[in-house]
């Protein structure tokens, strides 16, 4: 008899409403992701996602970025040390960035190789950084989308895993386009986490594989 594999334990990091966190937590509870949410961590004490996590019965922690400011700047080393303390204290082995609005340092990322994912609202490598919906509208692009990727030291530059595309419609403004992208996020982020937690998606010296084959380009979700 072989031992049953231990389910992955997720630390989900948020800064805002936590809609992706909710989608991930529900997928874990439904058995679609072979994992459990070990903790939801926010850098903002007033983040709406904290109450949503509590309503779901999930453990929460706050690492208030405001408490780590020195001379007007974030003391990143001490802030990240406390993040790491919370991750380890809750026994998490995967870090899921779900609207976490902080750039993490290379040393922090290096402690979680191939075990940290992020979701970004654009078809990377297009439009890294902020205000992607406005950028797409200003450029007159015919389509927009969302990318799940491994986190590396390069901002929004880690290997892409899966993308979903959405059309840009004539009547779109930022709110309408954002809502359409959010709906796609809630579909593909749980999918990518399921692949990683089940072992289908692996990280081999900086090169991701899916089902044993090199992932040369992101999976396109239709």
Beta carbons within 8 Å of 206's beta carbon, 6+ residues apart: 152, 159
Q: Show the DSSP H helices in the chain as ranges.
A: 19-29, 48-55, 76-89, 106-110, 132-139, 174-198
The C-alpha atoms of residue 173 and residue 164 are separated, in whole angstroms, by: 19
Q: Which of 112, 120, 133, 144 is flagged as catalytic?
A: 120
H helices, E strands: number in the chain = 6, 13
The H-or-E segment that residue 164 falls in is strand 160-167
Residues 79-105 as b or e (16 or more Cβ within 10 Å = b): bbebbbebbeebebbbbbbbbbebebe
Clarify whether 112 is annotated catalytic.
no
Find the largest Cα–Cα distance for the chain: 60
Q: Which two tokens stand for residue 59?
A: 């453990």
Let me know the angle formed at the C-alpha of 62 by 37 and 154, rounded to the nearest 5 degrees: 75
Name the CA dihedral angle for 66, 106, 126, 116, rounded to a multiple of 10 degrees: -90
Which residues pair with residue 202 across a beta bridge? 209
Which active-site residues does the annotation give?
Answer: 120
């Amino acid at each position: 008899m072989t031992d049953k594999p231990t389910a992955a334990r997720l630390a989900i990091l948020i800064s805002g409403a936590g809609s992706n966190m909710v989608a991930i937590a529900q997928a874990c509870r439904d058995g679609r992701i072979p994992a459990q949410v070990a903790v939801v961590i926010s850098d903002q004490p007033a983040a709406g996602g904290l109450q949503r996590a509590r309503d779901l019965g999930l453990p929460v922690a706050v690492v208030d970025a405001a408490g780590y400011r020195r001379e007007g700047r974030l003391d990143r080393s001490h802030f990240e040390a406390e993040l790491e303390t919370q991750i380890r204290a809750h026994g998490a082995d995967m870090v899921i960035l779900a609207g976490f609005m902080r750039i993490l340092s290379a040393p922090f990322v290096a402690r979680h190789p191939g075990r940290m994912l992020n979701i970004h609202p654009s078809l990377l490598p297009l439009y890294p950084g902020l205000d992607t919906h406005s950028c797409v509208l200003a450029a007159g692009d015919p389509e927009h989308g969302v990318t799940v990727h491994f986190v590396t030291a390069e901002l929004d530059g880690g290997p892409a895993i899966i993308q979903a595309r959405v059309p840009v419609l004539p009547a779109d403004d930022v709110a309408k386009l954002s809502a359409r992208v959010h709906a796609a996020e809630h579909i593909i982020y749980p999918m990518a986490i399921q692949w990683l937690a089940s072992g289908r998606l692996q990280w081999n010296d900086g090169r991701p594989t899916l089902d044993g084959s090199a992932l040369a380009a992101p999976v396109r979700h239709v």
